[in-house]
């Protein structure tokens, strides 16, 4: 996972790392519980991208044969990426998810 250039305060990280980790399950939790946290918003953005990726994978699943093979493999990859992101957030790191993490959908 790529390291993020944005600098977060240690206080923000310590205060919001659990909430940021929950963003990989329900992306909007940091937006509600830690509105002013740049660290939380970073991980909410990553969680939103992960959620959109799961939707795309479910659409791919509709494709006969190719989709039936690719979608489960992509789903497993996304689950692993989500776990890596949650662990990263809980450890106080802001690392972009591989492949899909460079997109910014939530303003920081």
pLDDT digits (tens, 9 = 90+) for 32-85: 998 899 999 999 999 999 999 999 999 999 999 999 999 999 999 999 999 999
Residues, the chain, total?
A: 108
How far is it, in rounded angstroms, from Cα 60 to Cα 90?
Answer: 31
Phi then psi for residue 29, to 5 deg, are -55, -50
pTM of the model: 0.86
Burial of 35 (0-12, 13-18, 19+ CB in 10 A): exposed
Residue 25: HSE in the Cβ half-sphere, 13 Å Cα cutoff: 7
For the chain, what percent of residues have pLDDT higher than 90? 79
Where are the chain's structural domains?
19-96
Residue-level pLDDT at 66: 92
- pLDDT at residue 1 above 60? no
pLDDT given at position 67: 93
């Amino acid at each position: 996972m790529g390291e993020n250039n944005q600098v977060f305060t240690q206080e923000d990280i310590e205060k919001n790392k659990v909430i940021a980790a929950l963003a990989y399950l329900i992306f909007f939790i940091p937006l509600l519980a830690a509105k002013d946290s740049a660290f939380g918003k970073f991980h909410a953005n990553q969680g939103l991208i992960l959620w959109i990726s799961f939707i795309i994978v479910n659409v791919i699943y509709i494709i006969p044969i190719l989709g039936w093979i690719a979608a489960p493999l992509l789903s497993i990859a996304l689950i692993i990426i989500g776990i890596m992101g949650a662990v990263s957030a809980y450890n106080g790191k802001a690392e972009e998810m591989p492949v899909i993490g460079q997109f910014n959908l939530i303003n920081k």
